[in-house]
Structure formats: C-alpha cells, structure tokens
Amino acid sequence: MTQVDVLLGLQWGDEGKGKIVDVLSPKYDLIARFQGGPNAGHTLEFDGKKFVLNTIPSGIFNEKTMNLIGNGVVIDPIILKRELDNLKKAGHDPIADGKLVIARKAHLILPTHQLLDAANEARMGKNKIGSTLKGIGPTYMDKTGRNGLRVGDTTLPDFKERYAKLVEKHTEILSHYEGFEYELAEKEASFFEAIEFLKTIPHVDSEHYVNGFLKEGKAVLAEGAQGTLLDVDFGSYPFVTSSNTTTAGACTGLGIAPNKVGAVYGIFKAYCTRVGGGPFPTELDNEVGENLRALGHEFGATTGRARRCGWIDLPALKYAIMLNGVTELIMMKADVLDTFDTIYACTHYEYNGETIDYMPYDIISIEPKPVLKAIDGWATDVTKITSVDEIPAKLTEYIAFLEKELEVPIKFLSVGPDRAQTLELR
Ligand code: GDP
Ligand code: IMO
Ligand code: MG
C-alpha cells in the first residue's frame, strides 16, 4: 500500500504549484486536485510553450500520468470546457487519451453562483474580499447548506428541475440586491452545452478511485490550489477563499484517511505576494514592491490583477508548516531577487507594543508590523544555472538561513518559470 503525497502553497497562492506539479508528475501515476475551483490559475512552461490551468490537474502534460478532479473541487463546466478546448487546439486531448476523470461528488458552479459572488462583492464596496468572481464562495455555501448540485446529478433524469429549483432560490436572493442588474439566458445556454460536454469525461467516486491506486501500490500526488493563508479556517479570515487549502483538505477533498498522507511538499516564493484584499504584514507599498512585481511578472494568472508584493514572512511560513505537517520545502522564484544587493526576511512582528513570532488572531483591525532582518543578496543571474555547484554562495547562505529558521529541508529550488529551471538540492 502506498501513500498520497501532497503539494500545496504556504503563502497566499500563486507560489508556483502548477510548475512543480508538472516537474514532479513523471514520478506519479495519479495527480489529483482536491479543493478550490477556477479561482486557481496554475502556470506551466516547457519547450517554449506556456499553459494556464484552472480546473485541470497539472499532471496533464505527462504521458503516463492520470489526472483526477476530486470531490472537494468546485467545477464551472463552461470554464472546464474552455480549458479542454484550448488544450485540444494546442494538440493535447486528455479526454481522448483517457487521462482525465472527474469526481461525481464534486459540486457545480452555476451561472447564478457567479452572479451572487459579484452582487456580494459589489455590496461590500471597499471592504470587499477581492474575490476572483468565479462563484467560489456561493458554491461552497450551497454545498455546506445542502442545496448544491453535483457532477453526478447531471446524468439524473430530473437534473433540469433540480437546476431550476436552485436558480429560483438564487434569483430570489439576487432580487434583494438593489440595482444589481444581470443577464442569465445566454449564460444558461452555454452552461447546458457545457454540461453535455462534462458528461463525456468519465465520472468516478474519487474515494474509491484514489484508494484503488494506493492498494495497487501506485504513486499519487494531491495538488493544492490557493495557499495556506487563504484557508477558510486558518487563513486571514474573512479575506480567504471558501475551502480548506491545507493538508486536511486533501483528505476530505479526495476521500483518503489521514494516515494515508505521505510526504507533504510546502511551496513558497523567495519573497511573498497576495492578490485581492486583506492583511499582508510584509507588503511593500513602494518602489521596491513595484520592482518585485515587474521582475516577477506578478500579475494574476486568472484575473490579470496586479499582485501585491512584499518580503518573505517567516512567522506566517512557520504557521503554514505546522498546519500542513510539511516534510519538504520548495523555494520558487529565487531569480526574481537576482538584482538586489540586500534582501529582507520578516522574523517577528511588532504587535500591540510586543514583539511576537506568531500570527495573532486579529490581524485585520491591528495589522502586525514586520521586524525585518537584512540579508546580503547574491546579485548574480541564476536563471541559467543547471547544477547545485553553480548556486552563488550568498544564495546558499539564504537557503541555509531559511532551513534553520523553518526547521524543514528545502528540496527543490526554482530559478525561472520553465520546467527545466529547477534544481534538486538534496
Ligand atoms: P500557482 O497558482 O501556484 O501555480 O502559480 P501561478 O502560475 O499563479 O504563478 C506563478 C508564476 O510564476 C507563473 O507565471 C509561473 O510561470 C512563474 N514561475 C514559477 N516558478 C518561477 C521561478 O522560479 N521564477 C520565475 N521568474 N517565475 C516562476
Ligand atoms: P492559485 O491556485 C491567489 C484569492 C482571491 C481573493 C480570495 C477569495 O492560482 O494559487 P475566491 O475567488 O476564492 O472567493 O477569492 O482568494 N484567491 C487566490 N489568490 N491564487 C489563487 O489560486 C487564488 N484563488 C483565490 O484573490 O483574495
Ligand atoms: Mg495561480
């Protein structure tokens, strides 16, 4: 019997999960997404090509790897169809190749879930979450509210009636948002067209499917979306997404028992970013932050929004490592710091007149101030290095400093967006 390895983000998302899942996928028989939905944008680059995946697991470009969209994921059939159509245009057809399956128990995002997301955000004005407007929150609300529609429902004879009943509830709610105008007919037509398409992807029970792989001794990797600090329970609530982005989410989002979890890969940037609203203690709302954004091309893969940038936040990373039981770390985008003579790491926070080394409960009304440690930069282009011996001494020192602070080894170092720009450190 094998175990499920988990790869997930330790910050506020966009750490580079897609790239690393793609790099690791040859070692796995199955890659499984376990939560989130098309709010995710996972970027992969290889052979001069670039792909952004929203719903489809990032193992899709590896020839022998199966890909599962798990029960914890919320699915917008229109976006999923578009993703698969685009892949087909680029010469990849996972359905024809039998490389993609989808959980019957995964919930569906309806066009009205998106409208509810938009209406909610509009009403909150400047206090809005800054959601991706993909309908994620309202869909998970219907899931836990026991109203949702699932992938498996699409093949039931009364699917259209079930759909109509839920939409009636949604339009009733929308009528209370004064001045919120919307058009539904056109979106509904695309939705039902996409539902027919969804039926062509094999539906499975993810709990039996994944455990079946384990029983056969096959290797499984669970791919997280978003990041730990966006977790609905442990993130910077309410500025979070609506699912458990942590390792525990892989258990509920796929149907595996906690003792089936193997290695946990925690992935982080050599600095930090956040997109959308909410606290961000190490944010650099200045020229340095703009510089990081330009050098790191920090614009959302899903929404195109400018990402907020700041220094690495060690109290937040330690918290994420604890919550996830991280066994190995992966550091991304070291190359983005190539031109800095000095870089900084937040080691503590000043909070309410005290120096603390943990994330306090209320970081919304009292934002912690970072205590920064200056670190020599390596001031060398690392994008072309291909072996560990070529890593500049100052970057090796930065890695050693982080490993000492975080008490977990850094296994991989990423020095550019391409698949090939990845170094295995141990
Ligand atoms: P994900 O959501 O965690 O998969 O990450 P995103 O794809 O949203 O954002 C990561 C961005 O950084 C993408 O544009 C990647 O192509 C890019 N990227 C990944 N690793 C590196 C790296 O080591 N260096 C640089 N410069 N870019 C990287
Ligand atoms: P990947 O998987 C970065 C953020 C949104 C917003 C908050 C809630 O690419 O790392 P939602 O649409 O989920 O209700 O938005 O969460 N967010 C992400 N930020 N990367 C993501 O995914 C994100 N998915 C959601 O910007 O602040
Ligand atoms: Mg992303």
Instruction: Looking at the CA of residue 39, tell me the nearest atom of ligand 2.
Output: 24
Please give the sequence-ordered ranges of beta strands (E in DSSP) within 225-341, or none if there are none. Answer: 261-269, 272-274, 308-310, 312-313, 328-332
| 291 known member of a binding site | no
Neighbouring C-beta atoms of residue 86, cutoff 10 Å: 13
Residue 23 has a pLDDT of: 98
How far, in Å, is the centroid of ligand 1 from the Cα of 12? 13
Which pair of structure tokens corresponds to residue 231?
Answer: 């977790």
Neighbouring C-beta atoms of residue 264, cutoff 10 Å: 23
Residue 301 has a pLDDT of: 84
| 342 known member of a binding site | no
Q: How far apart are the first and last CA of the chain?
A: 26
Q: Residues 6 or more apart from 162 whose CB is under 8 A from it?
A: 149, 153, 156
Neighbouring C-beta atoms of residue 164, cutoff 10 Å: 10
The CA angle 79-82-84, to the nearest 5 degrees, is 110
Q: What percent of the chain has pLDDT over 90?
A: 99
- Strands 328-332, 342-351: parallel, antiparallel or unpaired by DSSP? unpaired
Residue 215 has a pLDDT of: 98
Give me the CATH code for the 107-199 domain, please: 1.10.300.10
Residue 303 has a pLDDT of: 86
| 236 known member of a binding site | no
CA distance 101 to 356: 46
Check residue 70 and report its DSSP letter: -
Query: Does the beta carbon of 130 lie inside 6 Å of ligand 2?
Result: yes
Q: Whose CA is nearest to atom 28 of ligand 1?
A: 417
Within the chain, all domains assigned CATH 1.10.300.10 are found at 107-199
Instruction: Looking at the CA of residue 45, tell me the nearest atom of ligand 1.
Output: 16
**Upstream peptide bond of 370 is cis (omega within 30 degrees of 0):** no
How far, in Å, is the centroid of ligand 1 from the Cα of 331? 11
Which regions of the chain are under pLDDT 70? none
CATH top-level class of 4-103+203-265: alpha beta
Tell me the three state secondary structure of residue 397.
helix
Neighbouring C-beta atoms of residue 245, cutoff 10 Å: 33
The catalytic position among 5, 14, 22, 142 is: 14
Within the chain, all domains assigned CATH 3.90.170.10 are found at 268-424
pTM exceeding the 0.95 threshold for the entire prediction: yes
How far, in Å, is the centroid of ligand 2 from the Cα of 165? 29
CA distance 109 to 208: 24
Residue 338 has a pLDDT of: 98
Give me the CATH code for the 268-424 domain, please: 3.90.170.10
| Axis crossing angle, helix 77-89 with helix 185-198, rounded to the nearest 10 | 60
At 339, the amino acid letter reads T
Neighbouring C-beta atoms of residue 97, cutoff 10 Å: 10
**What is Dmax (Cα atoms) for the chain?**
65
CA distance 239 to 258: 27
Q: Residues 6 or more apart from 310 whose CB is under 8 A from it?
A: 271, 272, 273, 274, 280, 281, 282, 283, 284, 289, 292
What is the Cα gyration radius of the chain?
21
Within the chain, all domains assigned CATH 3.40.440.10 are found at 4-103+203-265
Tens-place pLDDT, residues 163-215: 999 999 999 999 999 999 999 999 999 999 999 999 999 999 999 999 999 99
Q: Which of 19, 391, 414 to mutate to test the pocket of ligand 1 (most atoms within 8 A of CB)?
A: 19
